[in-house]
Amino acid sequence: MNAYDNALRQLEKAAQLMVLDKDVVLRLSSPEKTLMASLPIKMDDGHLQIFPAYRVQYNQARGPYKGGIRFHPQVDLDEVKALGFWMTIKCAVANIPMGGGKGGVVVDAKSLSQAETERLSRAWVRAFREEIGPAKDIPAPDLYTTPQIMAWMADEYSQLVGKPSWGVVTGKPLEFGGSLGREQATAQGGMFILSALIDKMGLKADKLKVAVQGLGNVGGGMAELLYKQGYKVVAVADSKNVIYNEHGLDIPKLLEHKKNKKSLTDFPGVKEISLAEFFVLPVDILVPAAMENQITDNNAPDIAAKIILEMANGPTTPEADEILYKKGIVVVPDVLANSGGVTVSYFEWVQNLSNNYWSEAEVTSELKEKMTSAWQAVESVSDKYKVDFRTAAFVTALERIAAAIKIRN
């Protein structure tokens, strides 16, 4: 399943519904710039290794390009293009004045030493230095990229341009121009959306069972927030293990176990199950917070959840979307559900440019306002067109992007 083909099908579906100007559709059917580089890195043992690297600048109608950089062995150009497109949509759904982009390096990040990771991070900046910048293109963390990596990138760019330029990337450590509230922003934004949805559906948190796929920054953060707010998290999955306890998991203890043991293996009181079994568990809410193309036409018919909250990018294929819609399952799309991360990235960028830093309470308050506004806009379009939330989110975004393009022309 090609993620970029899926993305363009989502564009086409929404464009047909809203009768979007064909010139706008054409502009959004391909990236404005596709950049590629080969990064030569001297490894710790002295041998040279070449890593393919990408930066896709998808659309800047609403502002400078914005989007993460992932270090992953399965990175390819179509994936980066799809992610750049989704970032364009996501920024417009969140109504922040930025466009969309994405970057990546084909590498098994887990195999690198800290020194090798630093050399790779700085090399990426050197390769794309002419194309990025606080007023042009602002990268951020993604899969297997961290605040430390963002700090190295900001430092490298600042050295190259000869002045401090912390606003070139977001997701940095607090000590290096980062924002309070950024680490948990994606999960917190998702929780704001989920709370609004269950209120709309007349459901109560303490009566709902949840399964979370992914225990990285986003999935782990979601599991923790869900637990704190009274949801019963009965299953979690990471890249190696899937565990289940129908009575609920002690998430703080589980996350501590994973941190100490680097694995979910031997966590007490749970049953090991397969990933295939995970997706069809008798839960109320399913939270995919890992990779693309996890919910497909193969497993969608057997999904029992009432709600799917997409905290990963592109976890559901178009074919699966149709099946889930017919089953009456509510899908909260990635471009809405996980837009809290890019929203607080935008806040960080604003703070860097103004050199005026906000309290955590201010960040959380501003995030809640943005997420609530995004939810209300998407809900309104869904009601107007009688369509699913994904299509409604795309229509919301495309209306805003088309208006910006019209003004520019």
Catalytic residues: 102
Q: Give the gyration radius of the chain's Cα atoms.
A: 20
Nearest to 2 by CA among 93, 91, 74, 108: 74
Where b means 16+ CB within 10 Å and e means fewer, 317-337 reads bbbbbebbbeeebbbbbbbbb
Tokens found for residue 252:
């703080």
Q: Is the dihedral of CA 386, 384, 340, 256 positive or negative?
A: negative
Q: Which residues pair with 272 in a beta bridge?
A: 243
Q: Which amino acid is at 137?
A: D
CB contact set of 375 (below 8 Å; sequence gap of 6+): 192, 193, 196, 197, 336
Backbone angles phi, psi at 391, to 5 degrees: -60, -40
d(CA 43, CA 90): 37
